[in-house]
Amino acid sequence: MNIKGLIFDLDGVIVHTDQYHYQAWKKLADRLEIYFDEDINNRLRGISRMESLDILLENYHGNTFSLQDKEKLADEKNTYYRSLLENMMPDHVSDEVRSTLAELRNRGLKLAIGSSSKNAKLILNKVELLSYFDAISDGTNITYSKPNPEVFIKAAQYLSLSTEECAVIEDANAGIDAAK
């Protein structure tokens, strides 16, 4: 193996925004009187916002929502989520994460983010980690989210490396399937 680049998932690997996702989806679910718990939340790891909403709505037994309604619901969740992200500070990332990323770069590896999130840059900015990465591939530059490999293929391209030269660090099944 000749690994020249590392592609890190964001939520669940670099930062723990998974709890904020849970709280935001739970707030929406409670408003709509939909059952939602941590087990359902775990099924949302790595997949897109709209796909996550479809899973949440599996437990909704009222009228069907139009695409426009669903976009509004996804926006509502994102508004809750972004207000929680306001709490994020540089000290939410341990010194160990920063020193590990710095050490990997010192060893000559190129580092990228490969995240399904459209909020990835905002999060990296808040925790002051943007400058540690050579490239960001996220929910804003993909058509298909994990388990589709697009986000990682793009990350490798942004690093000017082949996918064979990259390894992926992931926490979610959808992301591991995408990486493979």
Q: Which stretch binds ligand B16 (CB under 6 A): 26-34, 54-62, 88-96, 116-124?
A: 116-124
Identify whether 91 is a catalytic site residue.
no
Candidates 5, 11, 26, 126: give the one binding ligand B16 (CB under 6 A).
Answer: 11
The b-or-e profile of 47-62 (16+ CB within 10 A means b, else e) is bbbebbbeebbeeeee
- Measured between alpha carbons, how far is 47 from 144 in angstroms, rounded to an integer? 9
Considering only CA atoms, which of 56, 58, 64, 97 is closest in space to residue 80?
56
Pair 114, 152: CB distance under 8 Å: yes
CB of 46 to Mg ion, least distance (A): 5
Site string for ligand B16, 87-106 (x = CB under 6 A): --------------------
CB of 52 to ligand B16, least distance (A): 5
CB of 54 to ligand B16, least distance (A): 11
Question: Judged by CB under 6 A, does residue 147 bind ligand B16?
Answer: no
3-class secondary-structure state, position 88:
coil
The b-or-e profile of 79-118 (16+ CB within 10 A means b, else e) is ebbeebbeebeeeebeeebeeebeeeeeeebbbbbbbbbe
Of ligand B16, Mg ion, none, which one sits near residue 139, judging by CB under 5 to 8 A according to partner kind? ligand B16
Q: Which stretch binds ligand B16 (CB under 6 A): 45-53, 57-65, 86-94, 96-104?
A: 45-53
Q: Which stretch binds ligand B16 (CB under 6 A): 5-13, 29-37, 64-72, 103-111?
A: 5-13
Pair 138, 118: CB distance under 8 Å: yes
Question: Judged by CB under 6 A, does residue 9 bind ligand B16?
Answer: yes
Question: Judged by CB under 6 A, does residue 137 bind ligand B16?
Answer: no
- Measured between alpha carbons, how far is 114 from 12 in angstroms, rounded to an integer? 12
Binding site for ligand B16 (CB under 6 A): 9-12, 21, 44-49, 52, 78, 115-119, 139, 172
